[in-house]
Structure 1
Amino acid sequence: MSATTALYGTPRVGGDILAHCTRCKMELAHVVVSMIGGTPAKVQCKTCKSERKFRGSSSARRVVPGRAAPSRPRARGSALWEEKLAANSGKETRAYTPRTTFQNGDVLKHVKFGIGIVEEVRANGKIIVLFREGERMLVHAMS
């Protein structure tokens, strides 16, 4: 039985129809209160007497598959990271802590993000670091 099929024939004002009641939280018999075109617009639950818009039964709703989000290309960032890491391969890798002071080109190891290269030092105590997954802004030189 579909959502727009009445219990007895075609749906009409005053006729019975199956619909999900939001108050009773069940699919129950409802009375069609108003119609727009050939579709019920408003229904009243025969059990709790609450009136609401007709949305059809939950089993009759079509699920429209959404578009999958495009995956982020990591090759560009990863290739740039590998290139910069190779250029700075002679430098010592230092463990990252917010208290440590870094300069442009320093290589650091972050607990969560891995190995990164400092690309920019800002005056407000922040640094821009290039990791394999992309750039991150971190704090440094905190006392």
Structure 2
Amino acid sequence: MIMEQIQAGSSVESACRKCKTVTDHHVVVMLDDKIGKVQCKVCSGKHAYRPPKEEPLPKAPRVKKAAAGKKAVAPKKLSPEVTAHWEKMVQTTPQENMLPYSMSGAFQPGDVISHTTFGPGYVQQFIKPNMIEVLFQDSVKKLRCCA
């Protein structure tokens, strides 16, 4: 069996990024004995020769590692006194009097809000220029709001 020597004008298969597949190409530039540039016969795009790859192996799922020298920090638990304060504030406020949270809403300390993700919360303080600190059942969060 005689192998055809590849030269400028020869036909080869190459991975074409424009076509997003392996297609036939014309060799345009040879660099010593290696293919330099090719032109796709389908889209006429010229690019560096990219040999067709074998089927990629399935990737194993990535496992997140803690940053070097840092330990994963568990969320802080609220003290029983803080949790009791939240319960008192939320339970004494009827559902219809809770303000629905929105980033465009205006809130003051003492307001009880209803958040779609975190549930009912008690506004503890306003932080200039446009943040509020809200006590929820399991944590304290800073939320954006209007001034």
TM bracket, shorter-chain basis: 0.5 to 0.7
Post-superposition offset of 1:83: 7.0
Q: Is the contact between residue 21 and residue 28 of structure 1 (CA under 8 Å) also seen in structure 2?
A: yes
Q: Quote the RMSD (CA, aligned, Å).
A: 4.4
Q: Where does structure 2 lack aligned partners over 5 or more consecutive residues?
A: 67-71
Contact 1:128 1:138 in 2 (8 A): no
Cα deviations across residues 4-38 of structure 1 (Å, max 9, x unaligned)?
Answer: xxxx8588443432124455565322133335687
Residues 121, 45 of structure 1: CA spacing in aligned structure 2 closer, same or farther, 3 A cutoff? closer
Q: Is the 8 A contact 1:44 1:52 kept in 2?
A: yes
Once the two structures are aligned, what percentage of the paired residues are identical?
23
Q: Equivalent residue for 1:101?
A: 108
TM-score, structure 1 length as denominator?
0.53
Q: How does 1:82-121 map to 2 (within 5 A)?
A: 84-93=82-91, 94=93, 95-97=98-100, 98-103=105-110, 108-121=113-126
Which ranges of structure 1 fall in alignment gaps of 5 or more residues?
Answer: 1-7
In the alignment, is residue 44 of structure 1 matched against residue 44 of structure 2? no
Q: Distance in 2 between matches of 1:89 and 1:43?
A: 71
Q: What letter is aligned with 1:51?
A: K
Give the TM-score, by structure 2 length: 0.52
Change (3 A) 1:48 1:138: closer
Paired letter, 2:127 = R
Distance 1:102 1:52, change over 3 A: same
**Aligned-pair distance for 1:76?**
0.7
* 1:53-95 superposed Cα distances (whole Å, 9 cap, x missing partner): 22333x5364684745569x79515x33887323433224542
Query: Aligned to 1:55, which of 43, 47, 50?
Result: 50
Answer yes or no: is the 8 Å Cα contact 1:120–1:128 preserved in 2. yes
Q: Is the 8 A contact 1:11 1:32 kept in 2?
A: no
Q: Distance in 1 between matches of 2:25 and 2:106?
A: 67
Cα displacement (A) at 1:137: 1.5
Deviation at 1:113?
Answer: 2.6
- The aligned residue for residue 76 of structure 1 is 75
* Distance of 1:82 and 1:37 partners within structure 2: 77
Distance 1:24 1:11, change over 3 A: farther
CA–CA distance in 2 between the matches of 1:102 and 1:40? 71
Tell me, in whole angstroms, the C-alpha distance in 2 between the residues paired with 1:134 and 1:9. Answer: 73
